[in-house]
Amino acid sequence: MPVSTIERTLVKSPPELWELVDDRELMRRWSAALTGTSGEVNVLEREPGERLAWEAAGADARIELILAEKGWGTSVSIRLAGDDVGDDAGSALDGLVDELGSPQRRPFSRA
């Protein structure tokens, strides 16, 4: 079974990163980027603030994300395993971690 992993430390807090990754739309988008399939995701494991694992419907692939506080930031580890892991999964994972590390813009709300 092919496996691809990436680990990087990002200068964001675990709660800030968890808010970003605990989102089904993000999981669907990541699944599509990593396996080429789009559709619903099935969350397999969820430990708020620490660990999230899911699989995409129609793909033989499991994506697991682990967050751990590390110094002034957070260690982010993403593991992709399954028969639908492509040869370019490593570069796709690199791009996804870059996305997490980039500044997030939120619209201002007017009261």
Q: Write down the domain spans for the chain.
A: 3-101
Rounded mean pLDDT for each run of 10 residues along the chain, 111 residues in total: 85 91 90 82 94 88 92 91 76 86 61 47
In this predicted structure, what is the pLDDT of residue 100? 87
CA distance 36 to 52: 20
Question: What 3 state SS string does 79-108 have?
Answer: EEECCCCCCCHHHHHHHHHHHHHCCCCCCC
Tell whether pTM > 0.85.
Answer: no
- Which architecture, in CATH terms, is 3-101? 2-Layer Sandwich (3.30)
Nearest to 78 by CA among 29, 6, 26: 6
Residue 23 DSSP code:
-
CA distance 4 to 44: 19
In this predicted structure, what is the pLDDT of residue 103? 77
Is 18 in a helix, a strand, or coil? helix
